[in-house]
Chain A
Amino acid sequence: MRIVIAEDAAVIRAGLTEILTDRGHEIVAAVGDAQALLSAIDAHEPDVAIVDVRMPPDHTDEGLRAAIAIRRGHPKVGILVFSQYVETRYAADLLAMRSGGVGYLLKDRVANVAEFDDAIGRIAAGGTALDPEVVTGLLSATRHGAALSALTPREHDVLALMAEGRSNSAIADRFYVSERAVEKHISNIFSKLGLPPSDSDHRRVLAVLTFLNDR
């Protein structure tokens, strides 16, 4: 996969490049600020852009604003927002645009190389990859708290995994249950939340995220 990295900390930029190259990806550009990121995207049209939220000059949310700009100008470029903190508002901003092909992960997650690579793959394929902490934040921030409280703990966990962008079989593996059981949970969730069920993975994720963002 062709990847652009935007990260102002040189150690992390180097580390990411090393890991992703090792996994067989091509790093077409590794830059340190949002302006350079936008030029790199224009020049290379990569499959995925990995974007740090805080970058020069102000170290606030330059990366996120750049990500939203990329979303507008290059809808085919998958975006992984990469941060040391979970900011629910950032995630909501990002997902509000369109929910496929985006991810928001804590930087810690990169330590599990296989999972990190997997997340990048999902994003490139138009799926989502949300950090469990982001999902928790979104779930607790939603004003549909009352509707969510109708879910059983297991259904809540399943919804969270769905929001992270996991497939049914991945969820089934996680809980050591059959895919059939997962499907049952999901249809329960949809009925409890008043959402029409659908067979497409992606549309389900969309539905979940639409719900999460409908605040």
Chain B
Amino acid sequence: MTESASPLRQMTEAPFTRRAWTELGYAVVSFPLSVAAMALIIPTLINGPMWALSTSAVRWFGAAARSLARRLLGEDVLAPPPIKPAYGLKVATSDGVRLEEAAKKAGGKARVWESRPGVTIRNLPRERVDQLIAEAGITPTSLREQSVFTNWMNERALDPVAWRARAYFMLKLPLSAVGLAVIAGCWLGGLFFSAYPAWRALGLGGAFRGNGFSSLPGSFDVLPLGALLLFVAPWATYAITEADRRLMRGLLGPVSAAERIQALEKSRAKVVDDSAARLRGIERDLHDGTQAQLVALAMKLGLAREKLYDVGGVDMARITQLVEDAHRGALEAIADLRTLARGIHPPVLDNGLADALATLANRSALPVELITDIPERPSAAIETIAYFSAAELLTNVARHSGARHATLEAVHVPGLLRVRVTDDGAGGARAVPNGGLRGLAERVRAVDGRIEIDSPQGGPTTVTIELPSHA
């Protein structure tokens, strides 16, 4: 969403943006998916075994919904963890209640049998249970592991990921149905009314026969209603998909702290890989650039020295040429080294992000309007990420967009740094695998930031990055 464009322009352009169309596509395609999911979920709610048997399929529907959202909405919901293997132990003992308490305290699940004295303990390793039994001073009369089949049924019937997916589809189906009705109403009504005189002329305007609209001049009166519906349609679609996004983030992604840690570990691994790749890149640049230039320089000077001691007479012209070449080579090496050093850490960043961005904007190949409002400095890591993100975005603008003008905006409000690059280029920017934007998105996400790319075909492109102040 572009706050920089005027609200009126936004309103009028809304039906024609790429976003409006992908959201409409999502609303249409996700509906049959929800219907199919519910056709599976509702009948299998009847009993435990059916829960277990439907779990894989329900998970598949969840994954399909995530993938649809990723493709059409750019909403990247993290995949939840796989089914957690269940492991159960049946302990026959007269002291079941104490063992149940101990097992629950140890983080497992336990249930005392009602029929005969004993307790079933789940999700604790065997050794831990043995330890608990010893600590409680209990001598069980028997102790046996649950069968593989029972474990299989348990882990599936109670799979939290599948249950959350069921909840998602139960909320999603009515949302989708109502949403689709509203959206279809807006679009079809809009198209119908905005072309009403034409229908009227063709004798198809039956709905209004006999009222004021039925005359040809009167039929033009409904045009504003048609236009209004057409412009409301994308906003209705947006509101409904936004609600869906929220449902998805809440119900189809990982939720527990442990799962969140898992997701963070993944993103940390990406950051580590990323910084290793950056170091490799710097080494390559040094090896192929500065080092090679200095070797060439040493060669020229070596040859010049040889010539100075040439017994056959000193060829001043040749020596002058060699020294000139060496001199030029030295200047080139210095310039390249400066560029490289700035790429590692721009010194001006020490003065604050605003100064660094100003330098960046000045150095850019195309005119960049800079708007900064950074009353308080974010942490150094965030400043660095913001700087390199802005640098990469401006490079993209200069290289790919064909824009004539760009705006770079950096605003820091308590807790949040927002960097936004807008250009008047050709648009169509996407985060493709291994692309610059994807790498950028990963770096931003690694510090719990957000990136939003709005780039319809034909432009304009707005990329907004939001970073926490401290990371």
Contacts and interface: CB of A to CB of B under 8 A. Distances in A.
B332 to A, nearest CB: 9
Given A59-B284, A84-B287, A12 B292 contact: yes
Interface string B408-449: 000000000000000000000000000000000000000000
Contact of B296 (A14, A113, A114): A14
Interface stretch (A103-111, A132-140, A197-205): A103-111
Interface string B306-335: 100000000000000000000001000000
Contact of A19 (B284, B292, B303, B329): B303
A11 B302 contact: no
B306 A84 contact: no
Nearest to B292: A9
Interface string B452-467: 0000000000000000
B295 A113 contact: no
Which DSSP category, helix, strand, loop or mixed, fits chain A's interface?
Answer: helix
Interface residues of B, number: 17
Nearest to A16: B299
B293 interface: yes
A18 to B, nearest CB: 7
Interface string A48-62: 000000100001000
Contacts of A116: 302
Interface residues of A, number: 21
Contacts of A149: none
B135 interface: no
Interface in B277-298: 284, 287-288, 291-293, 295-296, 298
Contacts, number: 56
A164 interface: no
Contact of B302 (A9, A59, A113): A113
Interface in A99-157: 107-108, 110-114, 116
A73 interface: no
Nearest to B289: A9
Contacts of B329: 11
Contact of B300 (A9, A15, A107, A114): A15
B295 A15 contact: yes
B391 interface: no
A65 B75 CA distance: 46
Contacts of B295: 9, 11-12, 15, 84, 107-108, 110-111
B299 A110 contact: yes
Given A8-B288, A84-B291, A113 B306 contact: yes
B285 to A, nearest CB: 11
A19 B291 contact: no
Nearest to A114: B306
A113 B301 CA distance: 10
B303 A11 contact: no
Contacts of A111: 295, 298-299, 301-302
Contacts of B300: 15, 18
Instruction: Give the top 5 A-B pairs by smallest Cβ distance, nearest first.
Output: A111-B298, A9-B292, A15-B299, A11-B296, A111-B302
27 contacts: A8-B288, A9-B292, A9-B296, A11-B292, A11-B293, A11-B295, A12-B295, A12-B296, A15-B295, A15-B296, A15-B299, A16-B299, A19-B299, A19-B302, A84-B287, A84-B291, A110-B295, A110-B298, A110-B302, A111-B295, A111-B298, A111-B301, A111-B302, A113-B302, A113-B305, A113-B306, A114-B306
Given A11-B295, A16-B299, A111-B302, 9 more contacts: A8-B288, A9-B288, A11-B296, A15-B299, A84-B291, A108-B295, A111-B295, A113-B302, A113-B303
Interface of B: 284, 287-288, 291-293, 295-296, 298-303, 305-306, 329
